[in-house]
Amino acid sequence: MMLQHKILTINPGSTSTKIAIYKGELELLNQTIRHSREDLEAYVSIFDQLDFRKQLIAEALQQAGIDIAQLDMVVARGGLLEPISSGIYEVNEEMLHDLKTATLQHASNLGAPIAQAIVEEAPQKLKAYIADPVVVDELADVARESGHPLFPRKSIFHALNQKAVARQFAQKVGKPYEELNLIVAHLGGGISVGAHQQGKVIDVNQALDGEGPVSPERSGTLPVGDIIRAAFSGKYSEKEMLSMVVGEGGMVAYLDTNDAYQAVQSVEKGNAKAKHFFDVLTYQVAKEIGAMAAALGGKVDAIILTGGLAKSDRLVELIADRIKFIAKVEVFPGEDEMRALALNGLWLLEKKIEGKIYNPHGKSFEIQG
Ligand SMILES: Nc1ncnc2c1ncn2[C@@H]1O[C@H](COP(=O)(O)OP(=O)(O)OP(=O)(O)O)[C@@H](O)[C@H]1O
Ligand SMILES: CCCC(=O)O
């Protein structure tokens, strides 16, 4: 029987806020509200954009004829919280506090507070949730150390899309996700490569500002001694150094664009610089996949390529040629984070999964109903 729950999903990004409405698994609305650089520059911190973005969502819903009184749930993308296990979490005071005071700024920090503000305005009893935020942490103990006890590794990656495509693959091959060993490479503005061992991401590069392959907007792993010397050279401010790592690193630094689609097109037209960059990017992605194959002890059922860059046959081929000796390569081009949020909400409403409580000072507890 088709269930008819209505769910609003919200995904705040650096230059846009995406919203979608699902009725059961059916998508009724999927809209990207774009924010100009000038609009966002008016706000000192990402959190200051809360009312601005919430208001735009309210207007978009009104224009689409969606009444929040008809919603059964609001699910948003989670932000840079304390490390937590995979799942769907009800928005609570601790979560809102941690997001407001988060050291790392990321637009997804706005997901929970926007969702909460919307449910508070609803005439009916309505709850706000986040699902599989970027801080999902299932690292194996051996994967937690870096090379210095002061700097343990962190699990920050595209958990929402990685888990969603891994589950889609599992469904396709008719096996539970929890029985498969998969390597998932999310190739977007940032790149994360995760080792999924029987349903847990036991190792993954810290894709926000720490490790991994070069990507369209991020530098990935950099030679740390050279970075320290540059930071203390007096030539650069902290802000400039950080933007070399995220925002103005990677392809932006090499090719002066964050548009990988256009850059790949220019390779077809003979742009040697762009060709070299993508040879490097695909080489580094393949190396990271090799590392994750070792993390899985060589037992790999499949390698999944996903994200915006996986829409390019050229890039997929360059990566696949180097790693197909490990396992078969599956491609899930683009990302479907809105659907992944909605499905988490649906599974909760249908009681197929249980909601969790965000409580960073203890464990996550299952809640009733
Ligand atoms: N057909 C294509 N070929 C190559 N690159 C593409 C193609 N389509 C989109 N892209 C590129 O994919 C990138 C965006 O990917 P995606 O939408 O997964 O990233 P994002 O959501 O902005 O960031 P992130 O995935 O890190 O959250 C852009 O650089 C875009 O130009
Ligand atoms: C790794 C953090 C998620 C993102 O790139 O947006």
Ligand lying nearest the CA atom of residue 246: 2
Closest ligand 2 atom to residue 218 Cα is 5
> What would the pLDDT profile of 289-312 be if each residue is shown by its tens digit?
999 999 999 999 999 999 999 999
Dihedral angle at the C-alpha atoms of 199, 200, 206, 211, nearest 10 degrees? -80
Range(s) within the chain of domains with CATH label 3.30.420.40: 6-138+337-357, 174-333
pLDDT surpasses 90 at 155: yes
Q: Nearest 5°: phi and psi at 196?
A: -95, 110
Question: What's the pLDDT at 210?
Answer: 86
- Residue 277 and residue 271: Cα distance in Å, rounded? 10
- Could you tell me if the CB of 335 is within 6 A of ligand 1? yes
Q: Which numbered atom of ligand 1 lies nearest the CA of 264?
A: 4
318 close to 279: Cβ distance less than 8 angstroms? yes
Q: What is the pLDDT of residues 173-187, one digit of tens each?
A: 999 999 999 999 999
pLDDT at residue number 365: 45
For residues 279 and 305, the answer to whether their CB atoms sit within 8 Å is: no
Fold of 6-138+337-357: Nucleotidyltransferase; domain 5 (3.30.420)
| Assembly ipTM | 0.95
Whole-number pLDDT of residue 368: 38
264 lines ligand 1 (CB under 6 A): yes
The average confidence (pLDDT) of the chain is: 94
Banded pLDDT at 167 (limits 50, 70, 90) = very high
Give me the pLDDT at residue 214, please: 98
Q: Supply the residue whose CA is at minimum distance from atom 4 of ligand 1.
A: 261
Task: Give pLDDT, residue 369.
Answer: 38
| Top-confidence residue, 213 or 37 | 213
How sure is the predictor about 70, in pLDDT bands with cuts at 50, 70 and 90? very high
Residue 14: pLDDT above 90? no
What is the reported pTM?
0.92
The confidence score (pLDDT) of residue 15 equals 80
Whether 131 and 37 have beta carbons less than 8 Å apart is answered as no
Q: How confident is the model at residue 367 (pLDDT cuts 50, 70, 90)?
A: very low
Fold of the CATH domain 174-333: Nucleotidyltransferase; domain 5 (3.30.420)
Output the CA 187–ligand 1 centroid distance in Å: 7
Amino acid at 42: A
> Atom of ligand 2 at shortest distance to CA of 206?
1
Predicted confidence band of residue 35 (pLDDT cuts 50, 70, 90):
confident
pLDDT at site 229 = 98
Confidence band (pLDDT; 50, 70, 90) for 2? low
